[in-house]
Amino acid sequence: MTVQSGVRIAVAGAGALGSAAALRLARAGFQVTVFDPAAPGDNASGVAAGMLAPVSEALFDPASRDHLALMRRARDLWPAFAEGLGIEIYRAGVRIEGSETWRGEVGRKLEDLGLPADETIPEDWRIEARPALAALRTAAQAEGVRFEAVAVEGFAPGALRLADGRTEAFDILVLATGPGARDGQLAPETAALAPIKGQLLRTSAGEGDMVVRGEGVYLAPGETLAIGATMEAGRDDLEPDASATQTLRAAAWALRPDLDLNAASVEVGVRVTTTDGLPLVGWSKAPGVMLAVGARRNGWLLAPLVADMVAAYLNGDHPGPDAAAMDARRFEKLGD
């Protein structure tokens, strides 16, 4: 399906994926409106630690192990993407800390990935997630994108149904709803998505510029020290849960016994994933619906790549080397 510039595009969801796609599409000449009932940043994208970390993810998330090359391609799009948006990329890298046994295991995994068994990973970067989301929104608005605080409930080409009862004339719906809209009403492919609740502690800014990775925890410096994160598969509630965060606290204290976590705040977000760990990007079986959803632990890392792919699909260009791996319809059963 090829779309001409000037058509009206609705984006459902103002997280990292929806906001990046909206900006990219507006720059390509499309008329774009983003719908999201939540306050800006009140989503997983606002909670995230902001790591752009292909190697750490391949090391510590089994679902991402096979996607190192793809994640590196996504990271490499960041400098051009961030330029002009006022998003700073912190490139101090990651330091591995922990018991000798555990560091030995990490070293072996690094070698399995074809990397030296060093205790620093210089190629993993970081951004500040919440300011980055605000910067994307500001840039999108400057390109003429409108933001409306209402949920999308239904879509057929020419008729977008909103939760406040309005029906508006839009030609294309870009579905970037994160863990929302998983009932298949807007796109049947969302049935392949499963939630993973994530809790993260934030406390006053920590020492140094490097992210520290320990056993079961990371310490990400910045405006605050982000200590994360839990992986609670199958859960999509936003309730802080003391038993899960206690495990995080214990892992953080194992690295930094003096860390004062009494005043730490708990932030909760819900990631959404497919079984292969990659998002659904591309045309849905539902007419006029383009999917950009399911980025698991890597929504920030993948945002520029997903935005480029969405723009390519809508322009009728080739969506690039990662299109097959992220194909939106890859989980359909044969014969569907």
Q: Where are the alpha helices (DSSP H) in 236-298?
A: 242-255
> 30 vs 78, which CB is nearer to ligand FAD?
78
Site string for ligand FAD, 204-243 (x = CB under 6 A): ------------------------xx--------------
DSSP annotation of 333 reads P
Strands 31-35, 51-52: parallel, antiparallel or unpaired by DSSP? unpaired
Minimum separation from the CB atom of position 294 to ligand FAD (A): 7
> 61 vs 143, which CB is nearer to ligand FAD?
61
| Residue 301 binding ligand FAD, by CB under 6 A | yes
Minimum separation from the CB atom of position 100 to ligand FAD (A): 27
Binding residues for ligand FAD restricted to 246-275, rule: CB under 6 A:
269, 271
Q: Which helix (H) or strand (E) holds 72?
A: helix 68-76
Minimum separation from the CB atom of position 153 to ligand FAD (A): 7
Minimum separation from the CB atom of position 335 to ligand FAD (A): 29
> 20 vs 314, which CB is nearer to ligand FAD?
20
Phi-psi region of 13 (alpha: psi -120 to 50; beta: other; left: phi over 0): left
DSSP annotation of 199 reads E
Query: Phi, psi at residue 91, to the nearest 5°?
Result: -115, 25
Q: Which residues contact residue 99 at a Cβ distance below 8 angstroms, ignoring those fewer than 6 apart?
A: 215
Binding residues for ligand FAD restricted to 106-145, rule: CB under 6 A:
none
Binding residues for ligand FAD restricted to 36-75, rule: CB under 6 A:
36-38, 43-45, 47-51
110, 123 Cβ separation under 8 angstroms: no
193, 274 Cβ separation under 8 angstroms: yes
CA 244, CA 240: separation in Å to the nearest integer?
A: 8
| Residue 299 binding ligand FAD, by CB under 6 A | yes
Which residues bind to ligand FAD, rule: CB under 6 A?
12-18, 35-38, 43-45, 47-51, 151-152, 176-181, 198, 200, 228-229, 269, 271, 293, 295-301
